[in-house]
Chains A and B, each alone.
Chain A
Amino acid sequence: MTQLMDWQGQKLAEELMQIMLLAFAVISFATGYIYGSFQMMVLIYAGGVVLTTLLTAPNWPLFNRHPLKWLESSESEKHPKPQQAVSFKKKPAK
C-alpha cells in the first residue's frame, strides 16, 4: 500500500463507508427497539463502525483497480520542459 488510492477507489471507499454506516444504524436501531434493549443497539452499531473502518479506511488493492497512467520518464525527456514565467517590471494599474 505504498501508493495513494486512485479516483475511482476514493469514490468507492466513500460511498461504501456511507452506505455501511447508514445500514448498521438502521439495523442496530430496529434490533434494539424490537428486543427492547438499548445496549444491543449500541453494541451492534459499534461493531458496524469497526467493520466499516476495517473495510473502507485502509488503502486496499480493491481501491486501486483503475490506477492513473503517469507519463514514462523516458517519454518526458523527449519533450521541452515548461519555461519559467517572465516577470514584468511595471506594477499593475489600480
Chain B
Amino acid sequence: MHSFGYRANALVTFAVTILALMCAMASISDNFNHPSPSAHVEVLNINWFQKQSKGNDEVSMQLNISADLQSLFTWNTKQVFVFVAAEYGTPKNSLNQISLWDGIIPSREHAKFWIHTSNKYHFIDQGSNLRGKEFNLTLHWHVMPKTGKMFADKIVMTGYRLPEEYR
C-alpha cells in the first residue's frame, strides 16, 4: 500500500469482485420465487383460409390473448418476453410449431393484459395439411433478468380446430 494508485487499484478490484458476487446472489434469489401465471387464448374468427400459389396452406385468424403474468416479476426482472405458438402434427413433420404473436412486457404493471388482434406472423403450413386440423395453442414466456439466469416456461391450451374447407 505504498501509493494512492496502489490503494485505488486494490479498492477497485475488490469492489468489482464483490459486485459480481452480489449479482450472482441476486440471480440465485430468483429461485425463491414460485410464480403462478395464468393465460387463455381464444380464436374469435377465421379471417381467411387459402392455399397459396406455391401450394402451402395459409390461415389468418383473430385472436383474443389474455394473461396474468404478474407473479413472474421479481426485483431482478428486466422484462418478460411472451409469445403464442400454434402446434400440430403432419405426415411430413411430427411436430410443427409456428409463432403467431409475441410481445415484450416491460414491468409488473403491464403484465396483466388482454389483446384482441389478428396473428402478427403468418400461419403457413409446409404443405397442404391444415383443413380440419386440430392444433394446440401454447403461450410461452421468457423471464429476462437484470443479471444472471433466464427462466422460461409455457402453458399449453388444447382443443382448437381449423375449418374443413377453405374460406
Interface residues of A (CB under 8 A from B): 4-5, 10-11, 13-14, 17-18, 21-22, 25, 28-29, 32-33, 36-38, 41, 45, 49, 52-53, 56-59
Contacts and interface: CB of A to CB of B under 8 A. Distances in A.
A18 B14 contact: yes
Interface string B1-40: 1111001101100110011011001100100000000000
B75 A17 contact: no
A58 B4 contact: yes
B118 interface: no
A65 B142 CA distance: 58
Nearest to A7: B1
B26 A38 contact: yes
14 contacts: A13-B7, A14-B10, A17-B7, A17-B14, A18-B14, A29-B25, A29-B26, A36-B74, A38-B75, A41-B26, A49-B15, A56-B11, A57-B11, A59-B4
A25 B26 CA distance: 12
Chain A interface, >50% SS class? helix
Interface of B: 1-4, 7-8, 10-11, 14-15, 18-19, 21-22, 25-26, 29, 74-76, 146
Given A14-B1, A21-B18, A38 B11 contact: no
Chain B interface, >50% SS class? helix
Contacts of B18: 21-22, 25
B75 A37 contact: yes
Contacts of A25: 18-19, 21-22
A49 B17 CA distance: 12
Given A5-B1, A21-B15, A22-B18, A53 B8 contact: yes
Given A22-B18, A38-B75, A52 B26 contact: no
